[in-house]
Structure 1
Amino acid sequence: MWGGRFAEKPAAAMQAINASIDVDQRLWREDIEGSKAHAAMLAAQGIITAEDNAAIQAGLDQIAAEIAQGTFQFSTELEDIHLNIEARLTERIGEAGKRLHTGRSRNDQVATDFKLWTMRAARDAGDWLRALQKALVKRADQHADWIMPGFTHLQTAQPITLGHHLLAYTQMFERDRVRIVGAMLEAAWECPLGAAALAGTAYPIEREATAAALGFHAPAPNSLDAVGSRDFALAALANLSICATHLSRLAEEIVLWTSPQFGFARLSDTWSTGSSIMPQKRNPDAAELIRAKAARIGGAFATLNAIVQKLPLAYAKDLQEDKALTFDAFDSFELCVVAMTGMIETLAFNREAMRAAAARGYSTATDLADWLVRELKVPFREAHEITGKIVRRAEDAGVAELAHLALADYQAVDPRITEAARALLTVEKSVESRTSYGGTAPERVREQIARWKETFE
């Protein structure tokens, strides 16, 4: 395709490092779609004939069928998906195929194809996340009032409900979904096609027509920026990285919860692995691999960012690496979300173990401080000190829960404390009292669940 300038073929290693067909053949649908739109515009502008356009359209449809059926022969000598398709088109329809590339370059062609692919992948990622959110809400509905410990610093803090905990991730993934889908569309709404190599073209093309045909909002207004920028891919990878971090946090909790030391949940056989030497083992490998793949997705963003940040305008071959990184990140992301959805759907929770853990560590101490403030009008800092002394007294007495400490011990610290205060210090009473908007009380959790179901509908 570009051999007129050269007397010799590239060296084998040059061919190997330069060819990208093994990676970018995934763009075949977008490449054919872009070529069809470009040819139709060329014909409408009188740059090619209607007969040539008809032959190109039919030939590209035939090539699409060949690729879909697996009969298309990809060639590394033709470097990339663009030249592979164009060469096959010329082979099928003759001279008309050679006219397709009029008024464009592989630079604007690949930017257009890659933008189209990334926008569609972002929409798919949004759908995967929605399925995970639905699984989380379903399990939250089943466990809206199941009590578990809430942690700060991985130390028991206050009792919460399992439903509340699961909905926290539902909320995180909603922000992720909005970022991945919405920000992607915002970053990629301008069409590069027609920017040509870097300076535009002298042919009387109609860029608004190709942009509209391909579903973009408008043609990219600057040809240098159109072919030399990859911020749409950077935005996609950055947003996938943030969501992968959230997936990794949930995966880490599954690893902890399913350990014998926690015993909060049990993974199903379908989402567990065994040991080759220890027959009792039930390993949370899928959750562990999500943690690792989150690092891999973040690494893809860091790598592409490092590639782009040193490039002068406009196009440089360094950008060929963008697709391998982005394809791999989306593939890994899909695996992570699908695996997490499967684990959430099949986790078996242990109500008794979670409730017992919630009661340990004097998790209702704040409820006592709140009672002192509310009923006795004690300043909170004073109430905090009084409660701390009572916790120390419970520790010294070897009492596991504040609700089990004798009233006499409370009154030894502050004689104003009554049985009414002690009766509030169960984990059940604690979660029931957290009725502020967004709180863990079961009634608030069920309100959130209803809101999510309405959103899904």
Structure 2
Amino acid sequence: MTKKLWGGRFKKEIDKDFFEFQKSIQYDYKLAQYDIGHSLIHAAALRVAGILKNSEWKKLSLALKEISNEIKKGKFNPDFNSEDIHTDIQNAIEKKVGALALKLHALRSRNDQIAFDERFYCVRKYLDIVPALLNLMKSLLFLGENNRKQKFIGYTHTQRAQVIYFADYLLVFCDMFTRDTERLKRYNENLFIYIGAGALTGSALSIKNYNEAIKESGLIGKDGKIKLARGPLDNVSDRDFIIEFLSILSIIQMHLSRLAEDLILYSTTEFNFIDLPEEFCTGSSLMPHKQNPDFLELVRGNTGKIYGNLVSLLTTMKGLPLSYNRDMQLDKEPLFSSVETIESELKIMAKFIKRIKLNKDVIEKALKDESLYATELAEFLVVKKSVPFKEAHTLIGRLIRDSQDKNKKIKEMSDEELKCYHQELNQKVIRKIMNPEYAVSSKKTVSRKIPKIDARI
């Protein structure tokens, strides 16, 4: 057990089991870099206020920047005997500058630090996740471009429905991830990093002290993300920004899961439309022939965890009295878990998608299913022959059913047989309409141009 940031009013040592139970260093060490940012600004505010001498501020700032560089290079080793990352960094600074470090925590609270750190973390992770989404979309467009003219089978209710372009199928997922990107952008536009809330009522440091310190820190950025806390009480008790982030990540996960499920389904022997890249599959310890789509199954399986992280934090926050409560310490693991899972999935999925191969012979065979063209036959009668749609729907439905009952293809029926359903039906019409190219070209509201990625974002 290391030095703590509290303890003066206690006569007894903290119970060791309880200390282990309540400490958070084992996961909040991931906020180390952001906590350094808070300390750099706070130290500058103390200097502006005259609480720190200029020489003292320089020593503390140098020590903080040294630790920051260690973190960036992966050389910072948190002490897991510390209570939390705030305490650990405080102790690390004390090792560098001695008793001067004891002045750093003047007029601030860990309540303010953690709110600052987590907001900063969310801003940075936004900057990581958006490019990862764009990269995945590029992979989808790459696969679509390489199979631009390939027709595919569209499904509703997991039943064959109509002919589509494979590229259009992939663009559906691009649209999903585009919406995700736009959600993240709106989220980021409204997300700011606040400082100066104290424990709950604000700081004895002035607005001028903090504003000058924020400007001097160089951390503010062009978008002015770091600001003085407007409502200290709200700032330390608010975790809406994490809940909103987890909500967006849950939607991204849902889209990834839907993509994974489709790819699993289409790669089965029963469908066999696609071959999955075996670099992302595993085998069976008993069955020599197996190539299991483990990456896709894990993506699908992670959805419960990602949803659970959101529900977990919603449940934690639902009954908390103002302002900060220790329950809120439990917001970090769900946040880190969801972010790290999504980042890994997006990275791997982008590589995975590019290496998918289509089994075009199998797809072409499936495209011969005459029921795929039933809608186009009905539309032909409506548009070209002015047949009421209800009548066209009924007679084409009967034609499909009779073909299946008699085990006779519609293309094999004679003109006389076809005219029993409608006088405008004949072999010439059937062969023209029951064709993948006709099916996709008859739709006039769909753009056939595969867009560039920049045009979708």
Q: What's the TM-score once normalised by structure 1's chain length?
A: 0.93
Residue of 423, 426, 447 corresponding to 2:435: 426
SS in 1 for 2:26: helix
Deviations 1:251-284, CA, capped at 9 Å, x for gaps? 0011111111000011122011111111111110
In the TM superposition, 1:238-249 aligns within 5 A as 238-249=247-258
Q: Which deviates the most, 56-65 or 128-137?
A: 56-65
| Preserved contact between residue 273 and residue 363 of structure 2 (Cα < 8 Å) | yes
Specify whether residues 399 and 211 from structure 1 end up closer, same or farther in structure 2 by C-alpha distance, changes over 3 A only: farther
**Residue identity matched to 2:333:** A
Specify whether residues 138 and 317 from structure 1 end up closer, same or farther in structure 2 by C-alpha distance, changes over 3 A only: same
| Preserved contact between residue 48 and residue 213 of structure 2 (Cα < 8 Å) | no
Q: Which deviates the most, 51-60 or 356-365?
A: 356-365
| Preserved contact between residue 196 and residue 203 of structure 2 (Cα < 8 Å) | yes
| Preserved contact between residue 143 and residue 163 of structure 1 (Cα < 8 Å) | yes
Specify whether residues 13 and 403 from structure 1 end up closer, same or farther in structure 2 by C-alpha distance, changes over 3 A only: farther
Deviations 1:233-260, CA, capped at 9 Å, x for gaps? 1111100001100100010011111111
| Preserved contact between residue 195 and residue 226 of structure 2 (Cα < 8 Å) | no
Residue of 300, 305, 309 corresponding to 1:300: 309
Residue of 336, 346, 351 corresponding to 1:327: 336
- Offset at residue 92 of structure 1 (A): 1.6
In the TM superposition, 1:147-296 aligns within 5 A as 147-186=151-190, 188-189=191-192, 191-206=193-208, 207-209=210-212, 213=217, 214-215=219-220, 216=225, 218-296=227-305
Aligned length: 445
- Offset at residue 375 of structure 1 (A): 1.2
Q: Residue in 1 aligned with 2:127?
A: 123
SS in 1 for 2:163: strand
SS in 2 for 1:150: strand
**Residue identity matched to 1:84:** D
Q: Which deviates the most, 33-42 or 208-217?
A: 208-217
Q: Residue in 2 aligned with 1:111?
A: 115
Q: Residue in 1 aligned with 2:425?
A: 417
Residue of 54, 58, 64 corresponding to 1:54: 58
- Offset at residue 345 of structure 1 (A): 1.0
- Offset at residue 392 of structure 1 (A): 1.7
**Residue identity matched to 1:408:** E
Deviations 1:303-323, CA, capped at 9 Å, x for gaps? 011111111111111111111
* Distance (Å, rounded) in 1 between the aligned partners of 2:66 and 2:146: 52
Q: Residue in 2 aligned with 1:363?
A: 372
| Preserved contact between residue 148 and residue 160 of structure 1 (Cα < 8 Å) | yes
In the TM superposition, 1:352-391 aligns within 5 A as 352-360=361-369, 362-391=371-400
- Offset at residue 83 of structure 1 (A): 0.9
| Preserved contact between residue 129 and residue 173 of structure 1 (Cα < 8 Å) | yes
Residue 9 (1) aligns with residue 13 (2): yes
| Preserved contact between residue 178 and residue 456 of structure 2 (Cα < 8 Å) | no
* Distance (Å, rounded) in 2 between the aligned partners of 1:435 and 1:452: 23
Q: Residue in 1 aligned with 2:105?
A: 101
| Preserved contact between residue 122 and residue 180 of structure 1 (Cα < 8 Å) | yes
- Offset at residue 53 of structure 1 (A): 0.9
- Offset at residue 165 of structure 1 (A): 0.3
Deviations 1:18-40, CA, capped at 9 Å, x for gaps? 11111011111111112112211
Deviations 1:140-187, CA, capped at 9 Å, x for gaps? 11112211110000000101111110011011001011213431442x
**Residue identity matched to 1:421:** V
- Offset at residue 406 of structure 1 (A): 3.3
**Residue identity matched to 2:24:** S
Specify whether residues 205 and 416 from structure 1 end up closer, same or farther in structure 2 by C-alpha distance, changes over 3 A only: closer
* Distance (Å, rounded) in 1 between the aligned partners of 2:212 and 2:11: 39
C-alpha RMSD over aligned residues? 1.9
| Preserved contact between residue 151 and residue 166 of structure 2 (Cα < 8 Å) | yes
| Preserved contact between residue 250 and residue 303 of structure 2 (Cα < 8 Å) | yes
Specify whether residues 234 and 361 from structure 1 end up closer, same or farther in structure 2 by C-alpha distance, changes over 3 A only: farther
SS in 2 for 1:158: strand
| Preserved contact between residue 60 and residue 89 of structure 1 (Cα < 8 Å) | yes
**Residue identity matched to 1:352:** D
Deviations 1:100-135, CA, capped at 9 Å, x for gaps? 112211001111011101111122111111110000
- Offset at residue 421 of structure 1 (A): 2.5
- Offset at residue 411 of structure 1 (A): 0.6
| Preserved contact between residue 30 and residue 117 of structure 1 (Cα < 8 Å) | yes
**Residue identity matched to 1:376:** K
| Preserved contact between residue 123 and residue 181 of structure 1 (Cα < 8 Å) | no
- Offset at residue 427 of structure 1 (A): 2.0
Q: What's the TM-score once normalised by structure 2's chain length?
A: 0.93
* Distance (Å, rounded) in 1 between the aligned partners of 2:415 and 2:120: 69
- Offset at residue 451 of structure 1 (A): 4.1
Deviations 1:47-87, CA, capped at 9 Å, x for gaps? 32211110110111222344455554533443111111112
Q: Residue in 2 aligned with 1:397?
A: 406
Residue 24 (1) aligns with residue 24 (2): no
| Preserved contact between residue 403 and residue 426 of structure 1 (Cα < 8 Å) | no
Specify whether residues 197 and 218 from structure 1 end up closer, same or farther in structure 2 by C-alpha distance, changes over 3 A only: same
